[in-house]
Chain A
């Protein structure tokens, strides 16, 4: 790997997220310390319920930690205001989900453009970039289709295009291959690897599957909200 030794892009100290269900408290993420360098490819593994999705949602600014410190891309996410966090989500991270989460009333092209438009970028520029991305992802023939007309692989590729439209430094993927057959799963993994390898993005993948193993620069094994193993 040719990355420069620089300060970590993600820095977590004693990061904790506790869910309260009545009297019961569940520490989904339990005092985690973590440093991730720019351009690293990280694979998060662990059993169901071990806290992978929770950790990703903290990193993506979708949720607030209960305790601890979290610095991502030079931002203190604990102290940031809701407006700053919204801005962070728009500009610094792209998220890919297991169930794709495309908006059903928008076409492939519109779904792809949406985050950039939300960020207030000028429409012609956004469209040009989206067309480039979709061309790269071999979706040109599908631009005006609603998501319901797409196959699972096509949906996930659209989601990847959407995650990339704002040029985020960090890509977070939660079970990106979970709803795909093995061939399409391969394709998605290759794309993510390309993003990391060729474009130097920091990519964090949470997954059960072994597909990602061979691309992993760093593997973390979560157990009950704690990092049980680095490799």
Chain B
């Protein structure tokens, strides 16, 4: 204890005062680490907020249920409720229906309407209303008066409706006036979906949605006395296709989908911490080199080598702790911006989430603190070990010496190559408890590995270039080249900050470009169609409401002029992996559209599909389930069992999980289900102006539908494709934020690295001045050094970036989203930005070269 107090005191005297006297350098490094910590923390917090709000929603919806009865891909007959209630082990059986509806009129935001039985539900879920003191009256009103509802506080505020007011709601097929009975207390069920819910009686719900006799699920609470085998005996009384599930299953499968996305973002944001780490490393090692003599004095006065080690480790810890604290305001600013983007992305890609509050998660805060501190200590450890080696004898040497030479460049390069090689097996390891440790480690090793290559590259450059440089830039260029050659491992690791930033930048540029290119191609080929038709709110309600029969009839009447490609879409899970089963008229579709198959020629695959029974699965589904071509896929859809071979895998960037395609004819034959979830229309004679023809068709359909028109969503192909691309751009906008931060960090890195190297050599530079070099010559030399350093950093960073982009696209994206892209490099962006980084670096070098002349030569040389 006493020792620790003394250590801190000595650290304040010895280190903190120096940090304070060179405050701008200290501040830059602090800013770097704070930026890294802030990005990391806020990205994690934002993703967690989404996941938590989803889990909470699912939990409050599940209430106290022990089991849930559902029919995958379909609904449960209501009659089952009474039968289940009679089972001796069942305490309560409570039916539930839910769907997204919205206030009529344009721009009404969808919310979750829940239909329940207010009596049986009292044991299941917690909810109450504000207005009347006795909850009794409001739930009685729900039951007695048709078309009454209890909205959550948030909805009533959004609508400006008070108890007694009425509101018009529209669902896929109908539009009806509801009366607001009362407002829900903000607790329990009312907090699901971020408060965007409303309750109504089950009978009203069924009438509104046309689902007489059906419910979405029946929640069961068992008696305390229920036997262990109660579940089995309950399951036995269920009809074919209906199953008993744990209520947590839906939550878990949703979380499973988001988990990999969280991993992806965590790894990317972790990289920004690395940049901070390199900055710390470069400053601490500068101190160790430039204060070597002072350390020898300390040793001669009786300081142990361990004390010196801890002194510099403490410096690392200081940057970690202060940087993290400085990151708090920065992250609270960032997180508010990120949370919207992240929750929008999660909603688009995986499960619908509504984040209404940011949980201040102490565990997450603690872990980000621990990680920042760890990374900072790690950065300080090598310089601290160097400090340990200072010998008291050196006190007699007048000037700092580099006693033990650093290891040979080629040794470091070998080590670097080794580290890069270990990345490969590492990234294949799964995350541990959702923490992508192996991902972090792999990224870390990748950047370290490439940084270790730099001394060797610098050495090569410095050995072969100086004669040429002398031609181009004269003596100063020659000297600059020589310095680069001899600068050794230390500079290499400082160039590491630059390598990391450039690497991240290049990787993200390539990834976004490949992604954009592939998705555009996919949208062009796979989302073809002149007009798309489906019931309103299909996406959000997971296509549970088919097209009304009148509409199907209408479409069939149009066959003269229009080719109709209908589909039936059903949301299912395969071994806990959620996916969309889509039966569609492939034989007709293939005349107009194509799928991007991972392997094989489309013609052959379609021919095979005609010849034999089988399915096509998307890349995402294949990656999530491990199914491959030739494997057998099984499913239970309503009453129909499917057991089919996988014929091919296609690229698919559709959101909300994987996709399985099956020919509609065969599905209809097997299941007897003739309903359509929607249809794509292709004009047979589009004429000159395709867009105008499509719009005309849209109008014709809407007019001829009459009352049904309001239940339909008709989109022209061009609009739909535009919407899809926009959603994807939004999805990757968070990556662009990271891109910007990488660039910012790169600039910081270059500036500090250069300033560090110049200050470290003030003596040497002044000696040059003293022996007759002009200021311009010294300045030119420094700029040549900067050029060589930045070019090396950029070169290696470029390689590192290619490597990282490969990992991102083919390993990390595949783990996160299940999809890969067609690799393509955005050369234009790289050709523009790399010289820009070089320019920035040179711009940063100018003030740095000025630093040399700040102090009079006599003073520097006397020290």
Q: Name A residues whose Cβ lies closer than 8 Å to a Cβ of B.
A: 53, 57, 60-63, 82-83, 86-87, 89-91, 95, 97, 99, 101-106, 110, 114-115, 117-120, 162, 166, 174
Give A101 to B293 CA distance when docked, in angstroms: 9
Measured between beta carbons, the chain A residues less than 8 angstroms from B298 are 103, 114, 118
Supposing A89-B392, A90-B302, A114-B301 touch, asked if A106 and B13 sit within 8 A by C-beta, the answer is yes
Give A61 to B13 CA distance when docked, in angstroms: 25
User: Which of B2-10, B159-167, B726-734 forms part of the interface with chain A?
Assistant: B2-10
Contact indicator A174/B396 (Cβ below 8 Å): yes
Q: Please, could you name 19 A-B residue pairs with CB atoms under 8 Å apart, sorted by A?
A: A53-B396, A57-B396, A62-B396, A63-B393, A86-B302, A86-B303, A95-B300, A95-B395, A101-B300, A103-B13, A103-B14, A103-B294, A106-B13, A117-B9, A118-B301, A118-B303, A118-B307, A119-B302, A120-B3
Measured between beta carbons, the chain A residues less than 8 angstroms from B6 are 117-118, 120
Q: Considering only CB atoms, which chain B residue lies closest to A86 in the complex?
A: B304
Give A162 to B395 CA distance when docked, in angstroms: 15
A17 → B minimal CB distance (Å):
10
Q: Name B residues whose Cβ lies closer than 8 Å to a Cβ of A.
A: 2-3, 6, 9-10, 13-14, 17-18, 21, 293-294, 297-305, 307, 391-393, 395-396, 398
Give A62 to B392 CA distance when docked, in angstroms: 5
The 8 Å CB contact of B300, one of A89, A104, A120, is A89
The 8 Å CB contact of A89, one of B17, B302, B398, is B302
Give A87 to B393 CA distance when docked, in angstroms: 16
Measured between beta carbons, the chain B residues less than 8 angstroms from A166 are 302
The 8 Å CB contact of B302, one of A57, A105, A118, is A118
Q: Considering only CB atoms, which chain B residue lies closest to A94 in the complex?
A: B301
Contact indicator B304/A83 (Cβ below 8 Å): yes
Give A67 to B82 CA distance when docked, in angstroms: 100
Supposing A103-B297, A110-B13 touch, asked if A115 and B395 sit within 8 A by C-beta, the answer is no
Q: Considering only CB atoms, which chain A residue lies closest to B21 in the complex?
A: A105
Give A101 to B17 CA distance when docked, in angstroms: 18
Supposing A101-B395, A104-B294 touch, asked if A60 and B300 sit within 8 A by C-beta, the answer is yes
Measured between beta carbons, the chain B residues less than 8 angstroms from A62 are 299-300, 391-393, 395-396
Give A99 to B18 CA distance when docked, in angstroms: 21
B400 → A minimal CB distance (Å):
13
Supposing A105-B13, A105-B14, A120-B3 touch, asked if A57 and B304 sit within 8 A by C-beta, the answer is no
Give A106 to B14 CA distance when docked, in angstroms: 7
Give A11 to B395 CA distance when docked, in angstroms: 24
B554 → A minimal CB distance (Å):
86
Besides A118-B298, A120-B2, 9 new A-B residue pairs in contact (Cβ under 8 A), listed by A number = A86-B304, A90-B301, A99-B398, A101-B300, A105-B14, A115-B301, A117-B10, A118-B307, A162-B301
Give A105 to B11 CA distance when docked, in angstroms: 11
Measured between beta carbons, the chain B residues less than 8 angstroms from A82 are 304-305
Give A57 to B296 CA distance when docked, in angstroms: 12
Measured between beta carbons, the chain A residues less than 8 angstroms from B13 are 103, 105-106, 110
A70 → B minimal CB distance (Å):
15
Give A97 to B303 CA distance when docked, in angstroms: 17
Measured between beta carbons, the chain B residues less than 8 angstroms from A89 are 300-302, 392
A158 → B minimal CB distance (Å):
13
A4 → B minimal CB distance (Å):
29
Measured between beta carbons, the chain B residues less than 8 angstroms from A101 are 293, 297, 300, 395
Q: Considering only CB atoms, which chain A residue lies closest to B17 in the complex?
A: A105
Q: Which of B13, B299, B398 has the most CB of A within 10 A?
A: B13
Give A6 to B51 CA distance when docked, in angstroms: 82
Give A101 to B396 CA distance when docked, in angstroms: 10
- Going nearest first, the 5 A-B pairs with the smallest beta carbon separation are A90-B302, A62-B392, A105-B17, A63-B393, A89-B302
Q: Considering only CB atoms, which chain A residue lies closest to B397 in the complex?
A: A53
Q: Considering only CB atoms, which chain B residue lies closest to A162 in the complex?
A: B301
Measured between beta carbons, the chain A residues less than 8 angstroms from B304 are 82-83, 86
Measured between beta carbons, the chain A residues less than 8 angstroms from B299 are 62
Q: Which of A62, A82, A97, A99 has the most CB of B within 10 A?
A: A62
Q: Which of A61, A97, A103, A162 has the most CB of B within 10 A?
A: A103
B84 → A minimal CB distance (Å):
77
Measured between beta carbons, the chain B residues less than 8 angstroms from A103 are 13-14, 294, 297-298
Measured between beta carbons, the chain A residues less than 8 angstroms from B3 are 120
Contact indicator B392/A63 (Cβ below 8 Å): yes
Give A103 to B304 CA distance when docked, in angstroms: 16
Q: Considering only CB atoms, which chain A residue lies closest to B297 in the complex?
A: A101
Measured between beta carbons, the chain B residues less than 8 angstroms from A61 are 392
Q: Considering only CB atoms, which chain B residue lies closest to A174 in the complex?
A: B396
Measured between beta carbons, the chain B residues less than 8 angstroms from A115 are 301-302
Measured between beta carbons, the chain B residues less than 8 angstroms from A91 are 302
Give A62 to B299 CA distance when docked, in angstroms: 8
B82 → A minimal CB distance (Å):
83
Measured between beta carbons, the chain B residues less than 8 angstroms from A174 are 396
Give A57 to B299 CA distance when docked, in angstroms: 12
B393 → A minimal CB distance (Å):
4
Give A105 to B294 CA distance when docked, in angstroms: 10
Measured between beta carbons, the chain A residues less than 8 angstroms from B17 are 105-106
Measured between beta carbons, the chain A residues less than 8 angstroms from B395 are 62, 95, 97, 101
Give A103 to B295 CA distance when docked, in angstroms: 9
Measured between beta carbons, the chain B residues less than 8 angstroms from A86 are 302-304
Measured between beta carbons, the chain A residues less than 8 angstroms from B18 are 105
Give A60 to B129 CA distance when docked, in angstroms: 85
B474 → A minimal CB distance (Å):
34
Give A62 to B390 CA distance when docked, in angstroms: 11
Give A105 to B287 CA distance when docked, in angstroms: 13
Measured between beta carbons, the chain A residues less than 8 angstroms from B21 are 105
Give A114 to B9 CA distance when docked, in angstroms: 11
Q: Considering only CB atoms, which chain B residue lies closest to A61 in the complex?
A: B392
Measured between beta carbons, the chain B residues less than 8 angstroms from A120 are 2-3, 6
Give A102 to B307 CA distance when docked, in angstroms: 18
Measured between beta carbons, the chain A residues less than 8 angstroms from B393 are 57, 62-63
Give A172 to B2 CA distance when docked, in angstroms: 30
A153 → B minimal CB distance (Å):
17
A212 → B minimal CB distance (Å):
19
Give A82 to B13 CA distance when docked, in angstroms: 25
Give A166 to B393 CA distance when docked, in angstroms: 20
Measured between beta carbons, the chain B residues less than 8 angstroms from A114 are 10, 298, 301
Q: Considering only CB atoms, which chain B residue lies closest to A88 in the complex?
A: B302
A216 → B minimal CB distance (Å):
23
Q: Considering only CB atoms, which chain B residue lies closest to A114 in the complex?
A: B301
B478 → A minimal CB distance (Å):
27
Q: Considering only CB atoms, which chain A residue lies closest to B12 in the complex?
A: A105
Q: Which of A57, A61, A83, A97 has the most CB of B within 10 A?
A: A57
Measured between beta carbons, the chain A residues less than 8 angstroms from B391 are 62-63
Q: Which of B10, B17, B303, B395 has the most CB of A within 10 A?
A: B395
Measured between beta carbons, the chain A residues less than 8 angstroms from B301 are 89-90, 114-115, 118, 162
B403 → A minimal CB distance (Å):
13
B537 → A minimal CB distance (Å):
69
Give A117 to B6 CA distance when docked, in angstroms: 8
Measured between beta carbons, the chain A residues less than 8 angstroms from B300 are 60, 62, 89, 95, 101
B322 → A minimal CB distance (Å):
19
Measured between beta carbons, the chain B residues less than 8 angstroms from A97 are 395-396
Give A114 to B311 CA distance when docked, in angstroms: 15
B802 → A minimal CB distance (Å):
43
Give A22 to B10 CA distance when docked, in angstroms: 38
Give A87 to B304 CA distance when docked, in angstroms: 9
Measured between beta carbons, the chain A residues less than 8 angstroms from B303 are 86, 118
Give A83 to B9 CA distance when docked, in angstroms: 22
A56 → B minimal CB distance (Å):
8
Give A63 to B392 CA distance when docked, in angstroms: 7
Q: Considering only CB atoms, which chain A residue lies closest to B398 in the complex?
A: A99
Q: Considering only CB atoms, which chain A residue lies closest to B20 in the complex?
A: A105
Measured between beta carbons, the chain A residues less than 8 angstroms from B392 are 57, 61-63, 89
Measured between beta carbons, the chain A residues less than 8 angstroms from B14 are 103, 105-106
Measured between beta carbons, the chain A residues less than 8 angstroms from B297 are 101-103
Give A166 to B302 CA distance when docked, in angstroms: 11
